[in-house]
Copies of this chain bind each other. A is one copy, B any other.
Amino acid sequence: MNITIVGLGLIGGSLAKAISSRTSHIVFGIDRDPKVLDEALADGAIRHDIGLGALEKSNLVILALYPAQCIKFMEQNASRIRKGAVVTDVCGVKKSICDALTPMAKKFGFCFVGGHPMAGREQYGFEAAKQDLFDGASYVLTPSDGCDDGVERIRELALSIGCGRVVLTTPEDHDRRIAYTSQLPHVLAAAYVNSPTCPMHVGYSAGSYLDVSRVARINENLWPELFIQNRDALVVEIDFLIQNLTRMRQDVASKDQDALTAALRNSRLRKETYG
């Protein structure tokens, strides 16, 4: 396949490196920063830099942009996509993207398959990209009707670059689950380190501090958009968390050891059962 990757940041750059080093597909890159394109060419992450013309030559286009940019890029360039090609994105929210891009796909005769490779790092940009970023990761797809071939094409690609599994679901289901598994941990890590006590932790922190706070090193230009686009599901999850914290707080304050033991037994069993 000819594959165009639009946006060579952490995710797009890692996809480019993984595809170019682990498959025989030919990767074209599009990025607004010419320096990034030069770097990507120099290290072999992309084969060609021919600008927007790459869209016409590709069987698969991967949009690795922030959600609003992604929609804007397609509003400007959907007409350049080859008929019958497959377009996918990598955004952490799916409903808003699929709602915007599925009608464009119908109009211009390509297939759109929403995608979310569940991998990341606390750094960003092409310089943080790694060809092994997706090793063992889940790659979630939210296909629209009539895109079975496109799904197969992306599934094979995902597995060939190291993903552990490809999961199919609806955009709504994806967004609801991701609110819990990805957005909420980022919210709570940020809330945790924003405590006034945080600067006093040095010398007193063990693994639990480090683990819980790791993703507090967050890209503040990306995540607010993801949170807001998925606000209904995320607010529900934050409310569950606040409820559980409030209950444990009351049990601590009232010295209710039995209630705390029951809550911690439940959390241990869940962790042992569900991983």
Contacts and interface: CB of A to CB of B under 8 A. Distances in A.
A231 B216 contact: no
Given A190-B264, A192-B185, A260-B223, A249 B245 contact: no
Contacts of A212: 185, 188-189, 211-212, 215
Interface of A: 118-120, 122, 137-138, 140, 165, 167, 174, 176-182, 184-221, 223-225, 227-228, 231, 234-235, 237-242, 244-246, 248-249, 252-253, 255, 257, 260-268, 270-275
A275 B202 contact: yes
Q: How many copies does the complex hold?
A: 2
B268 A216 contact: yes
B217 A261 contact: no
B271 A213 contact: yes
A239 B195 CA distance: 10
Contacts of A189: 208, 212, 267
Contacts of A184: 192, 195
Contacts of A167: 203-204
A10 to B, nearest CB: 13
Contacts of A213: 185, 271
Nearest to A206: B118
A177 B196 CA distance: 11
Contacts of A234: 252
20 contacts: A120-B207, A165-B203, A180-B195, A180-B201, A182-B204, A185-B211, A187-B248, A190-B263, A191-B248, A191-B267, A192-B244, A199-B274, A201-B274, A212-B215, A216-B270, A220-B265, A223-B264, A224-B257, A231-B252, A242-B246
| Central interface residue in A137, A181, A198, A253, by most chain B CB within 10 Å | A181
Contacts of A194: 244, 263, 266-267, 270
